């Protein structure tokens, strides 16, 4: 990771043994799992971002391959852009970064605000490299990334624009109209389709927007609960409505991923 910047003074970080160090002597140790924590301040990333339970549940679900239609579409899309460097913004527990590292001949990096997510990502022992950071101030040099991927995460387009090379790409993914339709129908009387937005991002042009749509069947109530926990509905649904879904031991549902490819001008 030769483009990392010191989060304190913004000068270059260089690797020295088990640490990254800047010219002013700020030092960030590499954890035993192999990642570096570049968050500053009293919060070390233990208590912010997604928590341990969410991280483990997400990993357990994704590792079963239920969202492989998305990882396949993502790898094919990224490969067609011939990147030398890919950055997974808000990479979570590293499932997609690992798939890109396994399938593309390029350097892959990922970061997330949650230390637990990054700990799990680094433990995958893939070729991808990980750091803990806030996307509001991504600690990497301007124009150092050929292709950034950004899945189910908040936006910070100013920082995305800064770190991507001119002519480089941003692949952003959010739920498509019919995503988890049958799961929602099992809970709510009147489910709504998701809105598909392609926000115009200053400094980027939208090149393409596609949907990757398929159906998955979950045959285990734990998997149904894990999937539900990955959605915002989990936190806004009554106990009574939750129970309707959690009493099922099998569920076939649509997965619809809305994939937008932006190019930096």
Ligand X SMILES: C[S@@+](CC[C@H](N)C(=O)[O-])C[C@H]1O[C@@H](n2cnc3c(N)ncnc32)[C@H](O)[C@@H]1O
Query: For binding to ligand X (CB under 6 A), which residues are involved?
Result: 49-50, 58, 90-92, 95, 112-114, 117, 134-136, 151-154
Q: How many residues does the chain have?
A: 265
C-alpha to C-alpha distance for 241 and 187, rounded to whole angstroms: 6
CB of 126 to ligand X, least distance (A): 14
Half-sphere exposure at residue 86, Cβ-oriented, CA atoms within 13 angstroms: 31
Strand order in the sheet with 251-264: 36-37, 129-132, 107-112, 85-89, 145-151, 164-175, 251-264, 204-218
Between 39 and 186, whose beta carbon lies closer to ligand X? Answer: 39
Residue bearing tokens 């192999």: 34
Shortest Å distance, C-beta 89 to ligand X: 7
Least spacing, CB of residue 17 vs Zn ion, in Å: 17
> Considering only residues 22-41, where is the footprint of Zn ion by CB under 5 A?
22, 24, 26
* Best CA proximity match to 132, nearest among 159, 160, 112, 153: 112
Structure-block tokens of residue 55: 């991280």
* 132 near Zn ion, rule: CB under 5 A: no
Pair type for strands 27-29 and 19-21: antiparallel
Q: Does 9 bind Zn ion (CB under 5 A)?
A: yes
Q: Which residue is nearest to ligand X (CB)?
A: 92
Shortest Å distance, C-beta 189 to ligand X: 26
> What gap in Å lies between CA 117 and CA 52, rounded to an integer?
8
Q: Report the residue number, 21 or 33, with the smaller CB distance to ligand X.
A: 33
Could you tell me which stretch among 18-26, 50-58, 78-86, 194-202 binds Zn ion (CB under 5 A)? Answer: 18-26
In the complex with ligand X, the residue whose CB is nearer, 20 or 95, is: 95
Residue 151 CB, shortest distance to ligand X, in Å, is: 4
Among ligand X, Zn ion, none, partner that 152 touches (CB below 5 to 8 angstroms by kind) = ligand X
User: Which of 170, 175, 171 shows the shortest CA–CA distance to 230?
Assistant: 175
Structural contact between residues 107 and 86, judged by C-beta atoms closer than 8 angstroms: yes
Interface positions with Zn ion (CB under 5 A): 6, 8-9, 22, 24, 26
């Amino acid at each position: 990771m030769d483009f990392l910047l010191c989060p304190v003074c913004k000068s270059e970080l260089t690797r020295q043994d088990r640490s990254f160090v800047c010219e002013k002597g700020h030092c960030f140790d590499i954890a035993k799992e192999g990642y570096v924590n570049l968050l500053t301040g009293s919060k070390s990333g233990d208590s912010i971002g997604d928590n341990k339970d969410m991280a483990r549940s997400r990993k357990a679900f994704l590792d079963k391959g239920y969202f492989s239609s998305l990882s396949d579409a993502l790898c094919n899309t990224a490969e067609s852009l011939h990147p030398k460097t890919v950055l997974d913004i808000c990479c979570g527990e590293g499932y997609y970064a690992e798939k890109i590292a396994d399938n593309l001949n390029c350097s892959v990096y990922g970061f997330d605000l949650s230390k637990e997510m990054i700990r799990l990502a680094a433990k995958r022992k893939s070729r991808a490299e990980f750091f803990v950071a806030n996307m509001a101030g991504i600690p990497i040099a301007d124009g150092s990334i050929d292709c950034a991927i950004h899945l189910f995460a908040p936006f910070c387009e100013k920082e995305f624009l800064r770190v991507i090379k001119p002519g480089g790409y941003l692949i952003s993914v959010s739920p498509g109209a019919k995503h988890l339709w049958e799961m929602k129908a099992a809970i709510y009387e009147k489910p709504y389709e998701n809105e598909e937005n392609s926000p115009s991002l200053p400094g980027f042009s939208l090149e393409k927007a596609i949907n990757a749509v398929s159906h998955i069947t979950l045959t285990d109530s734990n998997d149904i609960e894990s999937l539900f926990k990955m959605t915002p509905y989990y936190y806004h649904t009554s106990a009574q409505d939750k129970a309707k879904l959690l009493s099922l031991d099998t569920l076939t549902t649509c997965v619809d991923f809305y994939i937008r490819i932006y190019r930096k001008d």
